[in-house]
Structure 1
Amino acid sequence: MMTTEYPVYHEIRDENEEIAKAEAAIDTLAMQRDDRWYPKFHIASDGGWINDPNGLCRYKGRYHVYYQLHPYGTQWGPMHWGHVSSTDMVSWRREPVTMAPSLEEEGQGVFSGSAIVDDEGKLRFYYTGERYNNGVDRTDGQWQVQMAAIAEDDDATKLKKLGMVIDCPREKVSEHFRDPKVWKQDGVWTMIHGVSDVKGNGQLWLYTSEDMVNWTFQYVLFEDPDPDVFMLECPDFFPLKDKDGNTKWVIVFSAMGAKPKGYMNRNTSNAAYMIGTWTPGEPFKPETELRLLDCGANYYAPQSFETDGRRIMYGWMRPFNESAPMQHDGWCGQMTLPRECFLGEDGDLHTVPVPEVDNLRINTFEHTVKAVENNEEKLVLEDAEAVEIELNINLKDTTAERAGLKVHATPDGSYTYVAYDAQAGTVVVDRQAAARGNRGYRAAVLTADELAADELQLRVFVDRGSVEVYVNDGLHVLSDYSYPSEGERAVKLCSESGVLAVDSLTVHDIKSIGLE
């Protein structure tokens, strides 16, 4: 019999009043919002700052995406939970703010967490609460604990907070203790979350529970071998079948502290994965090196959920340390497209847009261009606000040193360049010509097999203020913000120091997901 006794519940503010204030603040920001870069087909808040996707699930026929939200400004602040839902991952409905800091144990924020349906069919949430050790600010450190809540309605818009279920053993950690992910493994409820231990090592701790209330620490599931990594945020852990039908486990985390090396770890913090094996009761055993989930400049804190035999993942497009121009427009931050995760024939993790994304296409144009000559540009679209571009490059006949697509090309000469770089053996998103936001570039390194292939396949999603590039059936992805200037936003094919040979070029106009 499942117990309903929870160890700690100290209300310090009225939850409903806090949510009402948050809603009013969002409405004020939304009324003033500038939509020049506001996404047409990516999830974002009406107003305010958002970050990590939370509580991803499908419940009673609806998909739910919750997310970290600061409703009172366009920079990070005391965290709430925002919420959108959909029956099909195509048309989305904006829901009320779901949680606000109202308990002592979460006085400074309701941080990230996950959702799971219990044995009685109820949707339960596990998340992190944060308070300051001195009750005033972070100068004396923070106290993070794991909290629980349960949905009170079929639309999962009203949550009942159940209190703290795991206190922080502060003598064993250096204040970082957050982001629970819960699932049922062999009949036992299992939780992992990120920890910085007392020595400052980034770890994932594993707990189990019989009743979803009383949780017992079991062991360290994984410790990052990089001595510079001090915390593993937003962990995920899930099984996938390889091409031979063997079960592999994928461990995902967002590492804090890793130093840049070559093309790796170029962002302030980086979301990465390893593939390996796991036997319950034992640590995870990696069989691959650490690999980036997304090679772009603006990807972090991914979370996944399982439904209908599919593993679906969202990530947050994080501004990182750039001065994000959208912060002046009343909003900041968006999610990636929903991506399906699978192990390819190559044994590696692939992430591709879920098939439902194809239902956002409203017009399709097949272009007849077969080649772009040496140092030539060809106009593909005069003005593209929201499009998907499928470009297949003939590698055997392409002689260009770099070639690809200039998107968000505006009359002032600004553009973002999605290119195949033959010299480096990479696909790059280059923002050197950007008129605003961070510049520089990010690169996905192609494998020897990819470079020896006849064709390079690119799917490029261009929204009002972002670009997502999927390479070779999602073996690599690059997600980047891109802030076009005023005027028409052209798309051009271009080729540098050689010829670009095109096998096919298809453009799809993309409709709104309904959150504008």
Structure 2
Amino acid sequence: MKRIVNLMLISALTLASVTSCMDRKDEEGKEAVAMEVQKDEDFRPNFHFTPEKNWMNDPNGMFFYNGYFHLYFQHYPDDNVWGPMHWGHAISTDMITWKEQPIAIYPDEKGYIFSGSAVVDNNNTSGFGKDGKVPIVAIFTYHDPKGEEAGETDYQSQAIAYSLDEGKTWTKYEGNPVIENPGIKDFRDPKVTWDGIHQQWVMVLAADDKSLFYTSQNLKEWELASEFGKGVGAHGGVWECPDFFPMYVEGSDEVKWVLIQSLNPGGYNGGSGTQYFVGDFDGKEFTPVKEMQDLGEDHHYWIDFGKDNYAGVTWANIPEENGRKLFIGWMSNWLYAQKVPTESWRSAMTVARELKLEKKGDSYIITSVPAEELQNYRSINYKEDNVKIKGTTKLIDSSRIDLASAEIRFNISELKQTNYKFRLSNSQGDELIFGYDHSKKEFYLDRSEAGQTDFSDDFANKISTAPRLSDAEGLNGIIILDKTSIELFFDDGKTVMTEIFFPNYPWEQLSISSEGDEFSMDHIEAYQLKFK
């Protein structure tokens, strides 16, 4: 009997020990998950749009209506990597603070819902409007995964859907597809705009290594008008996500058409990137200006020279009295987008930007700066004139401005130095280096020591560079900083660089160093960007 009692006691103690061990492991597991979630949130931007959870890439279907900016996006709600594409949805009154909405368009038996655009059909040319409700018409690519797996070439086609409740819910057109595939493997990403000059809808569509132009009167029936792009511009990869629209040249009544054309790979600094062309459109054919007609692979017509601004497009239906051309891009790169060190969500959008078309002589250039709405979030500010720079000089530290949510502007009226090197740093030894090498007339951005980089060999394998496109004697710049991104706008937006990073600790200081004699930074101002 005593032996049985002892055995029972041993069993009870063993069970208690095992249970305690299991409980401890369970608690450790919960703590590990909590730490991983916290790390994800530590990397989540303060003010750049991110999906609440899982995967996001290209911006889609952007339009303004009844006081709201609408942003749809390529979204896979079930995993943090690319998968069956849906259209996610977010709305904003100012393009800065976003509120995510329920998924807008789901894949179906015809395929995934790839990238596309949306227009406000104010005159009801489509006939979808009823009871006085203005139809919003989305134009997107159906991607048939079964056809792709079967080795077919015509697995992408163009389709439409319409909304009668300002973009909340959508009805797919029963006559889809509205453009069938003519036998082109990469046949996608329709961007539609109203051509008021020729009173028609115009679609630009990426097709392998070129752009196709279609026209329509009703958004349902489309006619192929022309093609552009073979042998012109960068062709290091497949052309994707185009945009096409007219713009006034700054300071004049001259109108030119702009074709924005992303490609992957083949970007200026590797991986995905977004180039552009300027020219004329006669309602059928796009003809680039003379200096772009024989444009080679190596050129300087890029919306952004950094690695992390891709597939960007502009908002439709901006009121004429506003007059701005407003743009946003996907702030990542296909080289590493599915590997970045966030788990519960992936990817962010750039800050919204205003595009302008400038002309000097016979040359045209697209400039971009942050949308003015960002200035409404300025709070604490620091300003200083005639800052003397010799050796390494601290400009701003985190006791003055939180460098994880900041706007910084500077001006140097005369460039006397060879190299102007800015450095963001923290107490963990991380540093992000960027600046301007005047001897090479080249900007640079180096994130090789800016925290976590080992998740991809392509992330920080080389310093990004960009040409200086201004011949001004001085240099001005805007620096937009979030937790994990920097957006640089030099020379009033003539040269722009955007890149992401993942520091081990928030940035604590911004400094500048120079080689040679002392010089003056005429002005620097920094603003804390404050959000809820």
Q: TM-score range by the shorter chain?
A: 0.7 to 0.9
Counterpart amino acid of 1:50?
M
Structure-to-structure mapping, 1:232-247, within 5 angstroms: 232-242=239-249, 243-247=251-255
Counterpart amino acid of 1:491?
Q
| Partners of 2:203 and 2:214 within 8 A in 1 | yes
Q: 1:229 and 1:299, CA in 2 relative to 1: closer, same or farther beyond 3 A?
A: same
CA shift for structure 1 position 388: 0.7
Give the Cα–Cα distance (whole angstroms) in 1 for the partners of residues 98 and 200 of structure 2. 34
What is the aligned partner in structure 2 of residue 89 from structure 1? 95
Counterpart amino acid of 2:215?
T
Q: 1:297 and 1:256, CA in 2 relative to 1: closer, same or farther beyond 3 A?
A: closer
Give the Cα–Cα distance (whole angstroms) in 2 for the partners of residues 330 and 283 of structure 1. 43
Structure-to-structure mapping, 1:177-196, within 5 angstroms: 177-185=187-195, 186-196=198-208
* Structure 1 residue 464 corresponds to structure 2 residue 464: no
Counterpart amino acid of 1:462?
L
Counterpart amino acid of 1:55?
G
| Partners of 1:275 and 1:288 within 8 A in 2 | no
Q: 1:142 and 1:217, CA in 2 relative to 1: closer, same or farther beyond 3 A?
A: closer
Structure-to-structure mapping, 1:353-392, within 5 angstroms: 353-368=370-385, 370-374=387-391, 376-382=392-398, 383-392=402-411
Give the Cα–Cα distance (whole angstroms) in 2 for the partners of residues 269 and 92 of structure 1. 26
Give the Cα–Cα distance (whole angstroms) in 1 for the partners of residues 333 and 216 of structure 2. 37
CA shift for structure 1 position 95: 1.0
* Structure 1 residue 218 corresponds to structure 2 residue 231: no
Q: 1:208 and 1:45, CA in 2 relative to 1: closer, same or farther beyond 3 A?
A: same
Cα distance per residue 1:5-28 (max 9 Å; x no partner): xxxxxxxxxxxxxxxxxxxxxxx9
In structure 1, stretches of 5+ residues that fail to align are: 1-27, 197-201, 259-263
Give the Cα–Cα distance (whole angstroms) in 1 for the partners of residues 279 and 480 of structure 2. 31
Give the Cα–Cα distance (whole angstroms) in 1 for the partners of residues 515 and 422 of structure 2. 15
User: The residue matched to 2:191 in structure 1 has which SS?
Assistant: strand
CA shift for structure 1 position 500: 4.8
| Partners of 1:116 and 1:182 within 8 A in 2 | yes
What is the aligned partner in structure 2 of residue 207 from structure 1? 214
| Partners of 2:421 and 2:514 within 8 A in 1 | no
Give the Cα–Cα distance (whole angstroms) in 2 for the partners of residues 269 and 387 of structure 1. 27
Question: Which of 430, 435, 439 matches 1:419?
Answer: 435
What is the aligned partner in structure 2 of residue 449 from structure 1? 471
Give the Cα–Cα distance (whole angstroms) in 1 for the partners of residues 507 and 154 of structure 2. 45
CA shift for structure 1 position 362: 1.7
* Structure 1 residue 129 corresponds to structure 2 residue 142: yes
In structure 2, stretches of 5+ residues that fail to align are: 1-33, 125-133, 293-298, 454-458
User: The residue matched to 1:72 in structure 2 has which SS?
Assistant: coil
Question: Which of 317, 340, 344 matches 2:354?
Answer: 340
Higher RCO by CA contacts (8 Å cutoff, separation 6 or greater)? 1
Give the Cα–Cα distance (whole angstroms) in 1 for the partners of residues 375 and 339 of structure 2. 30
CA shift for structure 1 position 266: 2.1
What is the aligned partner in structure 2 of residue 491 from structure 1? 509
Counterpart amino acid of 2:138?
F
Question: Which of 171, 196, 199 matches 1:160?
Answer: 171
What is the aligned partner in structure 2 of residue 280 from structure 1? 283
* Structure 1 residue 305 corresponds to structure 2 residue 319: no
* Structure 1 residue 393 corresponds to structure 2 residue 412: yes
| Partners of 1:33 and 1:329 within 8 A in 2 | no
Q: 1:500 and 1:320, CA in 2 relative to 1: closer, same or farther beyond 3 A?
A: farther
Cα distance per residue 1:443-479 (max 9 Å; x no partner): 22113613xx1x2111000101000001111111101
Give the Cα–Cα distance (whole angstroms) in 1 for the partners of residues 445 and 265 of structure 2. 24
CA shift for structure 1 position 87: 1.9
| Partners of 2:213 and 2:284 within 8 A in 1 | no
| Partners of 1:193 and 1:204 within 8 A in 2 | yes
Question: Which of 305, 318, 321 matches 1:295?
Answer: 305
| Partners of 1:388 and 1:508 within 8 A in 2 | yes
Cα distance per residue 1:288-309 (max 9 Å; x no partner): 4451110101111011124132
* Structure 1 residue 150 corresponds to structure 2 residue 158: no
Cα distance per residue 1:125-183 (max 9 Å; x no partner): 00111013547x375556001111111313x2211121523343343x2x111011112
Give the Cα–Cα distance (whole angstroms) in 2 for the partners of residues 380 and 343 of structure 1. 33
User: The residue matched to 1:157 in structure 2 has which SS?
Assistant: coil
CA shift for structure 1 position 505: 1.0
Cα distance per residue 1:238-261 (max 9 Å; x no partner): 111123321111111012454xxx
User: The residue matched to 2:523 in structure 1 has which SS?
Assistant: strand
| Partners of 1:48 and 1:70 within 8 A in 2 | yes
Q: 1:344 and 1:49, CA in 2 relative to 1: closer, same or farther beyond 3 A?
A: same
Cα distance per residue 1:36-95 (max 9 Å; x no partner): 121111111111111111111101221111111111222211111111111232432221
Give the Cα–Cα distance (whole angstroms) in 2 for the partners of residues 312 and 448 of structure 1. 23
| Partners of 1:181 and 1:235 within 8 A in 2 | yes
Q: Which moved more, 1:422-431 or 1:322-331?
A: 322-331
CA shift for structure 1 position 434: 2.2
Counterpart amino acid of 1:115?
A
CA shift for structure 1 position 433: 2.0
Cα distance per residue 1:468-502 (max 9 Å; x no partner): 0011111111010021112x421322214234521
Structure-to-structure mapping, 1:73-88, within 5 angstroms: 73-88=79-94
| Partners of 1:52 and 1:315 within 8 A in 2 | yes
* Structure 1 residue 117 corresponds to structure 2 residue 120: yes
What is the aligned partner in structure 2 of residue 23 from structure 1? none
Q: 1:460 and 1:105, CA in 2 relative to 1: closer, same or farther beyond 3 A?
A: same
Q: Who wins on radius of gyration, i.e. which is larger?
A: 2
User: The residue matched to 1:239 in structure 2 has which SS?
Assistant: strand
Q: Which moved more, 1:332-341 or 1:490-499?
A: 490-499
Question: Which of 91, 103, 106 matches 1:100?
Answer: 106
User: The residue matched to 1:36 in structure 2 has which SS?
Assistant: helix
| Partners of 1:319 and 1:333 within 8 A in 2 | no
Q: TM-score, normalised on structure 1?
A: 0.83
CA RMSD of the aligned region, Å? Answer: 2.4
| Partners of 1:402 and 1:422 within 8 A in 2 | yes
Cα distance per residue 1:100-135 (max 9 Å; x no partner): 212x222xx211111111113311100111013547
CA shift for structure 1 position 510: 0.9
What is the aligned partner in structure 1 of residue 74 from structure 2? 68
Give the Cα–Cα distance (whole angstroms) in 2 for the partners of residues 220 and 317 of structure 1. 29
Give the Cα–Cα distance (whole angstroms) in 2 for the partners of residues 235 and 333 of structure 1. 20
| Partners of 2:269 and 2:306 within 8 A in 1 | no
What is the aligned partner in structure 2 of residue 249 from structure 1? 257
Question: Which of 271, 274, 290 matches 1:271?
Answer: 274
Give the Cα–Cα distance (whole angstroms) in 2 for the partners of residues 97 and 31 of structure 1. 23
CA shift for structure 1 position 228: 4.4
Q: TM-score, normalised on structure 2?
A: 0.81
User: The residue matched to 2:373 in structure 1 has which SS?
Assistant: helix
Counterpart amino acid of 1:237?
F
Counterpart amino acid of 1:311?
K
| Partners of 1:466 and 1:482 within 8 A in 2 | yes
User: The residue matched to 2:104 in structure 1 has which SS?
Assistant: coil
Q: Which moved more, 1:67-76 or 1:291-300?
A: 67-76
User: The residue matched to 2:177 in structure 1 has which SS?
Assistant: strand
* Structure 1 residue 352 corresponds to structure 2 residue 360: no
